[in-house]
A = this chain, B = another copy of it.
């Protein structure tokens, strides 16, 4: 009895909005469970390979997670002249850390995620991040990202926000406020860079949180550069904001310079991000 592979009867339904649904076929259910903080599901799907869902929202798909994670991490780290210390707020899945640790300049990467169950789970199941989780440069803390950063003894060159979207009442909401960004800024070294995922950025969805996050960051940082890229499994274009402590650090790099910095600083081949992609993603 070989694997059916192609059943069109088992579906995973994700509500993108209350009036818009994204459904993909399911090949097998690798895990469904609940942590203290959220529903956790790992499902092997027809169109996207293995996908991780938190509270029913797809966070990462085997087939295209490289788009989201490369676009989150590399523009910010490459914009910095020499990032040695990186803080990740959230990122429990490990893919963000994986991309950060490809940068040869990075000496320490501190990641604080609130959900130990998700971290343990991803460590075990996501082969692609195994190496990152074992990298001695990674310091992994289970706890609240805000207090983890505030109480951390030392400052960082880059802070990466890889968090669920801000939703009223949801604890992540606190990690998208002006007060939080001010605290972040105080924990950045001179010339420091902050990047945060900033929700859907499609032509119809960008007003939900993307532009709001941009404007909040502008209250705190002198220069904030938006970026966006379509992520198929998210069923939308996704957005990021890169905020600079110094306008100088944020000077726009040409395609050739991006490609040169990648070649010089990043271990291995990137699957997606390069100078061309940089130009297209910039808003």
Among A1, A9, A14, A47, chain B packs the most CB atoms within 10 A around the CB of A9
B7 touches A39 (CB 8 A): yes
Which residues of B have CB within 8 Å of A7? 32, 39, 41, 56
Which residues of B have CB within 8 Å of A27? 32
Is residue A34 contacting chain B, with contact meaning CB distance below 8 A? Answer: yes
Chain A contact patch, size range: 35 or more
28 contacts across the A-B interface (CB closer than 8 A) = A2-B33, A3-B32, A3-B33, A4-B32, A4-B33, A4-B34, A7-B39, A9-B14, A9-B53, A10-B12, A10-B13, A10-B32, A11-B21, A20-B22, A20-B24, A20-B47, A22-B23, A47-B204, A63-B204, A64-B203, A67-B203, A204-B232, A205-B232, A230-B237, A276-B283, A279-B282, A280-B281, A280-B283
> 7 smallest A-B Cβ distances: which pairs?
A19-B46, A1-B33, A19-B25, A230-B230, A21-B23, A4-B32, A230-B237
Taken together, the copies of this chain in the complex come to 4
B203 touches A43 (CB 8 A): no
Is residue A260 contacting chain B, with contact meaning CB distance below 8 A? Answer: no
| Nearest Cβ on chain B to A158's Cβ, whole angstroms | 25
Closest B residue to A4 using CB positions: B32
Is residue A104 contacting chain B, with contact meaning CB distance below 8 A? Answer: no
Closest B residue to A272 using CB positions: B203
- Distance between Cα atoms of A63 and B47 in the complex (Å): 27
Is residue A117 contacting chain B, with contact meaning CB distance below 8 A? Answer: yes
Closest B residue to A36 using CB positions: B1
Is residue A212 contacting chain B, with contact meaning CB distance below 8 A? Answer: no
Which residues of B have CB within 8 Å of A18? 8
Which residues of B have CB within 8 Å of A230? 202-203, 230, 236-237
Is residue A177 contacting chain B, with contact meaning CB distance below 8 A? Answer: no
With contacts A10-B10, A22-B22, A64-B203 known, what are 12 further pairs, Cβ within 8 A? A1-B31, A1-B35, A1-B121, A2-B34, A7-B32, A8-B18, A10-B11, A10-B29, A19-B25, A20-B23, A47-B204, A230-B230
